[in-house]
Amino acid sequence: MVTLRPYQTEGIKRIFEAWNPKLLNLRNILFQMPTGTGKTTVFSEIVRKATVKNKKILIVVHRVELVEQIADRLTHFGVGVGIISARQKANPDCDVQVATIQTLSRREYPPADIVIIDECHHSKAATYQTLWEIYPEARFLGVTATPTRINGDGFDDLFEILIPLGKLSFFFEKGYLAHIKHLVGCIPDLSKVKQRMRDYDIEMLHNVMLDNSIMANLIDSYNKFAKGKKTIVFAVDIEHSKEIVQRYINAGFPAAHIDATTPKNERIDILNKFRSGEILVLSNVDIVSEGFDVPDCEAVQLARPTKSLVLYLQQVGRCMRPYEGKDCGLVLDNAGLWLEHGLSYIDRDWTLQSTKKNKKSNHTSKEVVAMDDEGILREITKPVESVGLELTELTEELERLLIFESYLRIAIANDHQLTSAVYKYRDLLISKSVEMSDIEESYCRKRLLKNGYNKAKGFLFYVKNDIKQALQEIK
């Protein structure tokens, strides 16, 4: 028996309420859950509940690997499954069928009261839209972590309601997802790379990313930030991926390549070796960005620039699953994707409507700052300044701490007491009617200690109370 998490139970409740003829009575629901929070578990429980009422269900996916994963997951819910996929023997007697859209479109469509479309950001394709014509009376559920399209098309012509389950920050805070550190490797020059089908031209991208300095930086970034960690690399194409693997092997790291043409048995063997740790670095082309589950994957290396926000977030999602002993997931951004789409872990507002008029509505991060190896906060005025640093979202606290850094620099440059920088910061906080937060106190203490002031803890305790008292007097 599978135990559901509270948010999964809430999501199922909201879906059934939207379908309920006595409540919202909607047919077409798009359900959004962040990568790694268990959307397969959610719709598997929906399938289980529906089969109890003798409903027939069709689950549609775009890749054969997802068919196998979903069929296996449904067995944990006690649900028998028929599979509609190339080279698979059909079992039309099962009330639940899992199908690849490619094979389904070439065969007789099974009966269905409920149609579930996994990774439904693909549902704008003509083969998917036919499903609404085939099943005019069925209830539809589309599930995805990223309800957006690279061309900005909306989903309001297919779905009547979008039910987002929660912000990423909620799942990080509750421990359902591993916190992310976004680290900048290099920033490739894409100024001469043309676009094809709204994304970068693969052949031109291939030539840029095979540049020797960029390839060397992949290994350098891994050595600096993720050495010995289980890492998935996302490459431009097969040749690029195989060259990456060879570089890793030459550097002494066990690595392997897979892509869609890798024979099934060989692919299974490689994935099993990666899961067991026999292979540390797994480089791939479009094969483990969706539906690939290795919770102890500690890092992803982004080596493929893309205009697709969906692809970017799906790739980052591979290292977001929590695992015992895993402090955080590392994103080694060697493709400059944070410049294209913003930080990988920010909260985003999703919509059914088109984003063509406001293309950056879901894509734009707030300003970012960076931390260096010593934990010193640095402002980024040019992208190149971020190379080798950890990016973080610019909050009000960090914006104030950048000012503290300027006070500290002035004190050091003029040979003033370091405490003078803290006194200036105290006056700044009082002028803004803001108390010193624990984050600010910790950062200021660390910086004072780093510069040789050993009484920082007691001094900042005094300053923090001084600010609190001053603000009380103002009130």
pLDDT in tens, 242-280: 999 999 999 999 999 999 889 989 988 998 999 899 999
155 and 105, same domain (yes or no): yes
Which pLDDT band, with edges at 50, 70 and 90, does 292 fall under?
A: low
407 and 457, same domain (yes or no): yes
Q: DSSP string covering 376-427, please?
A: -EEE-SSGGGGTTSEEEE--HHHHHHHHHHHHHHHHHHTT--THHHHHHHHH
Q: Does residue 354 form part of some domain?
A: no
Q: Which amino acid is at 269?
A: D
Which tops the pLDDT comparison, 295 or 340? Answer: 340
Beta carbons of 60 and 49 less than 8 angstroms apart: no
Model confidence at 334: pLDDT above 80: yes
Last residue of a domain, one of 115, 145, 166: 166
Q: Where are the alpha helices (DSSP H) in 84-201?
A: 101-104, 126-134, 168-173
Model confidence at 83: pLDDT above 60: yes
383 and 439, same domain (yes or no): no
77 and 219, same domain (yes or no): no
- What percentage of the chain carries pLDDT values higher than 90? 84
The pLDDT value given to residue 184? 96
Write the CATH number for 80: 3.40.50.300
Q: Does residue 254 form part of some domain?
A: yes
384 and 439, same domain (yes or no): no
pTM, rounded to two decimals: 0.90
188 and 292, same domain (yes or no): yes
φ, ψ of residue 60 to 5 degrees: the values are: -115, 130
Q: Does residue 159 form part of some domain?
A: yes
The pLDDT value given to residue 178? 95
Alpha-carbon gap, residue 312 to 333, rounded angstroms:
10
Q: Does residue 153 form part of some domain?
A: yes
Supply the range of the domain harboring residue 298. Answer: 172-346+364-393
Q: How many distinct structural domains can be found in the chain?
A: 3
Q: DSSP string covering 235-301, please?
A: -SSHHHHHHHHHHHHHTT--EEEEETTS-HHHHHHHHHHHHHTS--EEEEESSSSSS---TT--EEE
Model confidence at 364: pLDDT above 50: no
Residue-averaged pLDDT of the chain: 93
237 and 304, same domain (yes or no): yes
161 and 176, same domain (yes or no): no
Q: What is the mean pLDDT of residues 389-408?
A: 95
Q: Does residue 357 form part of some domain?
A: no
Q: Does residue 250 form part of some domain?
A: yes
Q: Does residue 141 form part of some domain?
A: yes
Q: What is the mean pLDDT of residues 335-339?
A: 95
375 and 405, same domain (yes or no): no
Helix then strand count (H, E) for the chain reads 16, 18
Which tops the pLDDT comparison, 317 or 65? Answer: 317
388 and 421, same domain (yes or no): no
Residues 6+ apart with CB under 8 A from 114: 46, 47, 50, 55, 56, 57, 58, 138, 139, 140, 141
Which tops the pLDDT comparison, 51 or 63? Answer: 51
